[in-house]
Amino acid sequence: DSVYGGRGNDVMQGSRGNDVMYGGKQNDFIYGGKDDDSMFGDQGDDTLLGEEGDDTIYGGNNSVTDPDVLGKDLISGGAGNDFLSGNYAADTILSGEDNDTSRGGKGDDLIYGQLGDDLMFGDQGNDTLCGDEGNDTLYGDNPELVAAVGTQGQQDELFGGTGDDLMFGNQGEDQLFGEDGNDTMLGGEDNDSLFGSSGNDSLLGEAGDDFLSGGEGDDTVTGGSGSDRFLINLNQGADIITDFDINQDFLVLADGLTTDEQNLTINPVGDNISIFWNDQLLVTLENLSATSGQIASRLTTLNDSFLI
């Protein structure tokens, strides 16, 4: 069935078949029903609920010639493997129970992965993406969209949630939080902040002057190009830094750590340098030839590091 809402504030509900529903001009409420439905909020601040089935939901009308540029939509996929797109404006998207693909579109969007192994794109705008449960893949920006139309990335926040997540900040100055699980995080092109949280994480700052904190667990951290700052913490595992540059990178001592030589020991061994607090291994700098004095000159505190 195909249903068109018209100009008023409509309430529409699909039946057992594969329905196509268009909300129309105002603030509409659309239920998908039990099968594989296609839903378009069109213009207005719409609420679209996929419910069951593998649904395709657009908050706007997916039109190039007459787009809905102002509507702030609420989209929920429900059960099934859904495709959800906010289109324009600041939308809220809830993926649902299964393995969904969500795109924020333009505007500052909020996207929740919820259950399942979800694929999430913030697209344009300052977006917030939360993977929640499952092994999710999060992109702050859509790399294909950036390449196609030359848009610039903006400041996104990505939260992995539980599970082993893959996270890409891409363009813009982004913040990535791995949270639970063994996460892989890539900052992208600008000055990003990456926080692994719990789990044995892999952090790659890529381009830009990045701040990287592995958090709990034994993490592998790579700054990439730029002047990067690596946070060293106590009682949070023994991290490996793969590409420390003695000429431009910094080791940031967290609260509770000082440069007191009675407690902090810098031990060069072969091509690696290990740093201890008393007998606890804090971090290993791989493939680096430097003296203890050179390493000590690159130490800074958490407060001072933001003044560099």
> Rounded CA gap, 234 and 17, in Å?
58
Could you say which DSSP state residue 47 is in? Answer: E
Burial class (CB in 10 A: 0-12, 13-18, 19+), 262: exposed
> Rounded CA gap, 259 and 204, in Å?
26
Name residues whose C-beta falls within 8 Å of residue 73's C-beta, 6 or more positions apart in sequence: 41, 45, 46, 47, 48, 59, 60, 86, 87, 89, 91, 92
Instruction: Please report whether residue 226 resides in a domain.
Output: yes
> Rounded CA gap, 77 and 226, in Å?
40
Nearest to 269 by CA among 253, 252, 281: 281
Instruction: Please report whether residue 306 resides in a domain.
Output: no
* pLDDT for residue 297 is more than 90: yes
- pLDDT score recorded for residue 307: 45
- Max CA pair span of the chain: 77
Instruction: Please report whether residue 218 resides in a domain.
Output: yes
| Residue with the larger pLDDT of the pair 102 and 150 | 102
Is residue 262 very low, low, confident or very high in pLDDT (cuts 50, 70, 90)? Answer: confident
Instruction: Please report whether residue 273 resides in a domain.
Output: no
Q: What is the pLDDT of residues 22-63, one digit of tens each?
A: 887 889 999 888 889 999 988 889 999 998 999 999 997 665
> Rounded CA gap, 113 and 98, in Å?
9
Its domain, for residue 27, covers: 2-260+293-301
Instruction: Please report whether residue 64 resides in a domain.
Output: yes
* pLDDT for residue 190 is more than 90: yes
pTM of the model: 0.89
Instruction: Please report whether residue 183 resides in a domain.
Output: yes
